[in-house]
Amino acid sequence: DETEESLARLHAPVGIYIGSKTPAEIAVSVMAEILAVKNGVALPRTFSVTQAKTRLEMQGT
């Protein structure tokens, strides 16, 4: 059974945006987020993937 409380804990997409391209890199980003949550590290909820990609493009990477 889903409760309002359990549904409120869900969020997507999963993983921290680190420019991952391969399955292994994606796995690292997912595990980084899982470990941050487990260890009580606050992650920005409104992190913009678009902004991160734009910054990378501006840096020429």
- Output the 3-class SS for 39-56: CCCCCCCCCCHHHHHHHH
Q: Is 45 a residue whose pLDDT tops 70?
A: no
Number of domains in the chain: 1
Report, as an integer, the average pLDDT of 25-29: 93
Tokens 């889903």 appear where? 2
Q: Is 52 a residue whose pLDDT tops 80?
A: no
Report, as an integer, the average pLDDT of 4-12: 79
37 or 13: which leads in pLDDT: 37
Tokens 């997507």 appear where? 12
61: confidence class by pLDDT, cuts 50, 70, 90: low
% of the chain exceeding 70 in pLDDT? 89
Which residues have CB under 8 Å from 22's CB, separation 6+? Answer: none
Q: What is the extent of the structural domain holding 51?
A: 4-59
pTM over 0.85: no
